Structure 1
Amino acid sequence: MPGPEQTVPEPAGEAGGQQTGAERPVAAVTERSADVIVVGAGPAGSTAAAHLARTGLDVLLLEKSVFPREKVCGDGLTPRVVKQLTDLGIDVSEEAGWLHSRGLRVIAGHRSVDFDWPELSAYPGHGLVRRRADFDELLARKAASAGARVVERANVTGPLVDERTGRITGVTADLGEERRPVAYRAPVVVAADGNSTRLSVAMRRHRRTDRAMGVAYRTYFTTPRHDDRYLEAWLDLRDPDDPARGPLPGYAWVFGMGDGTANVGLGVLDTAKPEVDWRELLRRWCEGLPPEYGYTPDAVTEPIRGAALPMGLNRRPQYADGLLMVGDAVGAVSPGTGEGIAYAMESGRYAAETIVQALARRTDSGRELALRAYPQALRSAYAGYFALGRLAAGMLDRPGLFGAAGATGLGRPALLNAVFRLMLNLTEPNSKDALDRLPHLIGRVAPGK
């Protein structure tokens, strides 16, 4: 028989690192059914589980690892993420352990321009910085405090499928260090298991080959600039061994963490020919930083790690046969910037809202009709913005065009500010301004692309 569920502790506060008081009681695994199963406790899965559990639904959130666990990320969070955290009731004050950012510093060659986050009706005028391991654990605890049953060391091995209808009815998992086989059942399942999303693949949800993929690599080093309130994006990313080649299709970043270190990394389209050793490129790029950053090989505090970036809703169908995909599993990463946390959390929320409405229906046909609204919610939210991102990604893949555009933009701050707002998807909802309406207009022209 399976052993106890491994649940994350109740939050003692939102600061994230310190726990006080008793942990949640460990419950025997006697009930292996739920209203909804969420596979993966990253930002998308935990957000979905928290919103679902708030409504009183019985939610199982299955996580294969144990918190805290490492994930490759830049750790810089835009105002879109701040909104999602605030909506969940999470304290995002600096007293709770967050570093607030003022905006983005764009650097190319010997020029740099600072852009403050805009103050909008829907989004605050500041961003955040938080280590990803801490961030993910905080969200999982928030889901647990909302009522979700969070099970760690639950390695999902495949779907349970009704052979007659083809619908998913639950999942199988190996539980705990002993890898005890367990079956969990629910009428609706959310795949939040990352880019590899074995659950989605098992349900024949395959990646679109016409969508760009990206890769990201990052490390940390100690720096006197650790409390810089601007996230830095360095556009002129080149291979030191082949400088004549021109800019590579991506950018590098330096995000001060406020704890004596900075997260430094690069995000690139995975189209480079010939192949580039991205880890070595990042090392070499760091060596070229100005002396005031304090970078030396001895200052590096963690090894370089990399991960794939699935972009532009690259896996379909986004809902079918009882399975909804969110976050990296559905490819909810901006093709233009590589930002994923905001869209992971938003897709998790859209999925939760869809499921809540579906499970309130009185008939199977009514529930299915409601669930089929999820892809339309994603298209309405992202079709135009992701189309713009694909155009930007196309520029990145044409170094000459990208280099000329970057040089022109840095010489015209007003133009670059407009591009900054568009690329970060920070426009005013329901505005009549042409800049704010552009993504929505593009979305109408190509809603299904």
Structure 2
Amino acid sequence: MSGCHDLLIAGGGPAGLATALHAVRAGLDTVVAEPRRAPVDKACGEGLMPGAVRALTALGLEIPGHPIRGIRYVQGPRRVEAAFRHGPGLGARRTGLHTALHGAVVDAGVPVLPLRVEEVRQDATGVTVPGTGLRARWLVAADGLHSPVRRSLKLERTPRSTGTPRYGLRRHYAVPPWSPYVEVHWGAYAEAYVTPLGPALVGVALLTSRRAPFTTQLASFPELAARLPPEAAVTAVRGAGPLRQRARTRVHGRVLLVGDAAGYIDALTGEGLSLALTGAKALVANVCRGTPSRYETDWRRATRRHRLLTDLLVRARQQPALAPHIMPTAERAPRLFAAVVNALA
């Protein structure tokens, strides 16, 4: 793959593959560098918000999964739920999502090279990846939460003090979903997300500040654990974190950051994929217009509401005086809860 491409995308996860689809459909000569074989799995909640479903549909993709009606918060006997007002969400296995995106990119003629990009060199006209012969006018860093490209360019930004780092753990259970909602169970130190993924499959993701095994943490949700017998577990536990990552900028010369590489707060509000898909579209639009510097402004505008609400919720979650009041407040103010859910959806 010698010569100079228009776009070189480092990372073949959903953010990178969506960027590649937008790029090739805009007429850009595009190549993806991804060392892992498809499909690539990842520890995530696997619930697609309605905005993500619409964005994937606009790309012409059909993702296998289970419809999601809305979000339900659970804490002991307390319950509050909000239905999505503008179409359903989708519970979709990460591997199914990746397979659909990867297949669409390959069918569009975009090469996916088994290469890892860890260092880049840029000049006035393009970006080169040393030792590979790859050169492009623009490089997109879509290489995830702990982006090697972001780190190599010293774009990491130390997070302000926000309490104990949080981590994600995920496992699947072969049990029928008992609710058409994504259930968020609130515990003392963690939240447990239960996502319906099929007629006889649910995904359970734990967001936690405790460093303890999955089964130990699940035991702190006795009502939920009773629905999930150990023998029903059908996948190994996957983990991710620490979750909060900050980037100084999304545009650095001829390098543009998208998806988790562009910065991440927390999975608490479940909007990561929606933001990645929105960012991919905005990035390609600005490259095509010749306004790459505007991508930073577009990214900030598109993610502002999410960043504000997620940051406020995480901060409240980590304050001992405030955390116990999150669920009771949502229960007492169901209209406000529904408004927040749909603002994020």
| Structures share fold, TM-score greater than 0.5 | yes
SS at match of 1:217: strand
1:258 match: 198
Which amino acid is 1:65 matched to?
Answer: R
Counterpart position of 1:403? 324
1:416 aligns with 2:319: no
Higher mean C-alpha deviation, range 31-40 or range 203-212: 203-212
Do the aligned partners of 1:37 and 1:170 also contact (CA within 8 Å) in 2?
no
1:111 corresponding residue in structure 2: 78
Distance 1:398 1:307 in 2: 23
On the 8 A contact 1:169/1:185 being kept in 2, the answer is yes
Match of 1:329 in 2: 261
Aligned residues: 343
**SS in structure 1 opposite 2:330?**
helix
Secondary structure at 1:282's aligned position in 2?
Answer: helix
Letter of the aligned partner of 1:130 in structure 2? Answer: A
| Aligned counterpart, 2:181 | 230
Superposition RMSD on alpha carbons, in Å?
A: 2.3
**Equivalent runs, 1:14-413 vs 2, <5 Å:** 29=1, 31-92=2-63, 97-119=64-86, 125-151=87-113, 153-162=114-123, 169-172=127-130, 182-210=132-160, 214-225=166-177, 228-235=179-186, 237=187, 247-248=188-189, 250-268=190-208, 272=209, 276-277=211-212, 279-285=214-220, 288-289=223-224, 291=226, 293=227, 295-308=228-241, 310-311=243-244, 314-333=246-265, 337-358=269-290, 370-413=291-334
C-alpha distance in structure 2 between counterparts of 1:289 and 1:73, whole Å: 19
Larger radius of gyration: 1
2:126 and 2:157 mapped to 1: Cα distance?
19
- After superposition, what is the alpha-carbon deviation per residue over 1:152-209, rounded to whole angstroms, capped at 9, x for unaligned? x2122421334xx6x861224xxxxxxxx52200010000001121112112211332
CA distance in 2, matches of 1:208, 1:353: 30
In structure 2, the CA distance between the partners of 1:224 and 1:91, relative to structure 1 (3 Å rule), is closer
Listed as ranges, the gaps of 5+ residues in structure 1 are 1-28, 120-124, 173-180, 238-246, 359-369, 427-449
Amino acid of the structure 2 residue aligned with 1:317:
T
The answer (yes or no) to whether the contact 1:333–1:339 under 8 Å persists in 2 is no
- The superposition leaves residues 11-53 of structure 1 with CA deviations (integer Å, 9 ceiling, x where unpaired) of xxxxxxxxxxxxxxxxxx4x35311100111111111110010
Paired amino acid for 2:212: D
Report SS of the residue matched to 1:139: helix
Partner in structure 2 of residue 445 of structure 1: none
CA offset digits 1:274-313 (Å, max 9, x no partner): x53153433424654264x2x21111111211102644x7
CA contact (8 A) 2:207 2:267 kept: no
The answer on whether the counterparts of 1:188 and 1:322 sit within 8 Å (CA) in structure 2 is: yes
Structure 2 CA distance, aligned partners of 1:412 and 1:200? Answer: 41
Whole-angstrom CA distance in 2 between matches of 1:168 and 1:281: 50
| Off by >4 Å, runs of 4+ in structure 1 | 332-336
Normalized against structure 1, the TM-score is what? 0.71
TM-score calculated relative to the size of structure 2: 0.91
Q: Which has the higher contact order (CA 8 A, sep 6+)?
A: 2
Note if contact 1:310-1:328 (Cα within 8 Å) is conserved in structure 2: no
Q: Distance in 2 between matches of 1:336 and 1:263?
A: 15
Contact map agreement 1:168 1:323 (CA 8 A) in 2: no
* Distance in structure 1 (CA, Å) of the matches to 2:174 and 2:222: 14
Kept in 2: contact 1:332–1:343 (CA 8 A): no
Q: Distance in 2 between matches of 1:185 and 1:282?
A: 46
Q: Measure how far apart 1:336 and its partner are.
A: 5.0
Q: Structure 2: give runs of 5+ residues left out of the alignment.
A: none
Which residue type is aligned with residue 84 of structure 2? Answer: W
* Contact 2:118/2:152 (<8 A) preserved: no
Whole-Å separation in 1 of the counterparts to 2:53 and 2:25 = 19
Provide the rounded CA distance (Å) in 2 between the counterparts of 1:374 and 1:141.
27
C-alpha separation between the residues in 2 aligned to 1:327 and 1:309?
16
CA shift for structure 1 position 65: 0.3
2-structure distance, mates of 1:157, 1:336: 29
SS in 2 for 1:266: strand
Residue type of the alignment partner of 1:209: P
Letter in 1 for 2:128: G
Whether the 8 Å contact between 1:159 and 1:168 is mirrored in structure 2 is no
Distance 1:336 1:280 in 2: 20
Cα separation, 1, equivalents of 2:259 and 2:213: 24
Structure 1 residue 109 displacement after superposition: 1.5
Per the TM alignment, residue 224 of structure 1 is displaced from its structure 2 partner at its CA by 3.0
SS in 1 for 2:329: helix
SS of match in other structure, 1:371:
coil
The alpha-carbon deviation at position 86 of structure 1 amounts to 1.3
